[in-house]
Amino acid sequence: MQSEKKVPDYLMDDFSLYLENMDSLADPENPELLANYLSSLFEQLKQMPLLFSGMVDQLAMAISTKVRIDSKNLAKVDLNDEPAWGDIKPFVGVHNDARACITEIMADAEQDLKTAILLIHFYNGYDATPMKAEEDEDDQFDDYASDDYDENY
């Protein structure tokens, strides 16, 4: 059975963008494409830490290989309502080469950083396998002779 890890409503739009971007770059025929792109994004971010202000999906992509999230323990935090940065910060580790950049983002764009961390957290636990739909008796129809259809439509 598939476990369901629902993305909260307050993240849904940004998560959709992040998921679409990550999936579009995950090319089995060119496995380095995603890694190279993420590396390039981070190098740009390192030069200008506030480059992706307001574009949290891009920020999440840029820092995704530079942060380590303790998702096991973060999952114990109620994320249905948007948490404060202080609630999730203890579960985030930052690589040495990204500390200065992340520190500046934390000081000047804390909300974006928090959202980016949450996007990465949910993406790491995201299962894209479609869930099997339950059969609905009302949804099954095969009687085109029924009076419920207007043939002149």
* 125-129, 137-141, 146-150, range with greatest mean pLDDT: 125-129
- Residue from 68, 67, 62, 69 nearest 36 by CA: 62
Query: Residue 26: pLDDT band by 50, 70, 90 thresholds?
Result: confident
Q: What is the mean pLDDT of residues 58-87?
A: 95
Does residue 79 contact residue 8 with C-beta atoms inside 8 Å?
Answer: yes
% of the chain with per-residue pLDDT over 90: 69
Determine the pLDDT at residue 132: 54
Q: Where are the domains of the chain?
A: 9-127
pTM for the model stands at 0.79
